[in-house]
Amino acid sequence: MKKLKEIPNMEILENIDVKDCTTFKVSCIARYLVKPKDKEAMVLLFQFLKEMCIRYKVIGKGSNLIFVNKTFDGVLISLDYFDYFKVEGTKVIVGAGYSLMKLSLETAKLGLSGLEFASGIPGSVGGSLVNNAGAYGSDMSKVVTSVKVLMPNYEVKTFTKEELKFCYRSSFLQYKQDYVCLEVEFTLEKGSSEEIRKRMQTRREKRMAAQPLQYPSAGSVFRNPEGMSVWTLIENLGFRGKKVGGAQVSEVHTNFIINTGEATGKDIKELILEIQEAVKKEYNIDLVCEQEFVE
């Protein structure tokens, strides 16, 4: 694709294994992985892709993606260069490609409270915003003020918190694949840096004890049905330790599927679908997967 390579201010990688671009560490060869360095490059990129009807997908840190096939014949778009971070009092403005975990640590150092819940979430700020990532009774909706989005007409529009229509592990943007989050504004609270770090350390110790962090995974697989803990449903059906190829339901936490070393995307998908089918049959509950299949 000669014209793709002519777009200025963009890093282009060809025939790249996305294994190191996702937390599941599943191998898949993408034809192109591109990294626009500014909004202008991104606009030119989308204009080209749409004009040529080329398949594409915007990715963050890959913390909720499962590449099912061995190849992705299209263009993956990374926002790694949108990684700026600035503070104005208790207001924090962050590029969509910035690491959410890093942001949590940096704001803690500054004595800004509100993002303690995010210290163990390995996603990008943009991806976490789209999916309303959360933990410990808090989530992105509690701290986000507004978001700048590149629209399908290539204009940048600012959405307020209310317009994003946040709900459990979801937002308006989750259903608008052609809207691209560029920047997020947070409003935090002044606090004690020492106390914030203590809370984060306590939560880290809990995660280490209760989650299989020594293996590649994409975190919790399913959303909790209202009033229930999904891990108990999976546990009661005997799935603890269940394996399909290199994918396994964790022995530590049954709402985690781990890559024991050689899992394929198909292994993981098969195991997820098997659990969903069993829970539907036994409890008549449709489990919602928090992770996304890329096929």
Q: Which positions are catalytic? A: 169, 220, 290
- In angstroms, the CA 89 to CA 102 distance is 19
Per DSSP, the residues of 136-193 read: TTEEGGGTEEEEEEE-TTS-EEEEETGGGT-BTTB-GGGG-TT-EEEEEEEE-EE--H
Rounded CA-CA distance 257/252 in Å is 10
Q: Tokens 């959405």 sit at which residue?
A: 159
Query: Which residues are CB-contacts of 257 (< 8 A; sequence separation ≥ 6)?
Result: 217, 218, 221, 247, 248, 249, 250, 268, 271, 272
Q: Give dist(CA 238, CA 236) in Å, integer.
A: 5
Name the one residue in this structure whose structure tokens are 């099912």. Answer: 68
Give Dmax over CA atoms of the chain in angstroms: 56
Shortest CA distance to 224 belongs to which of 287, 166, 164, 162?
Answer: 287
List the one residue out of 270, 231, 230, 225 whose CA is nearest residue 247. 270
CB 273 within 8 A of CB 265: no
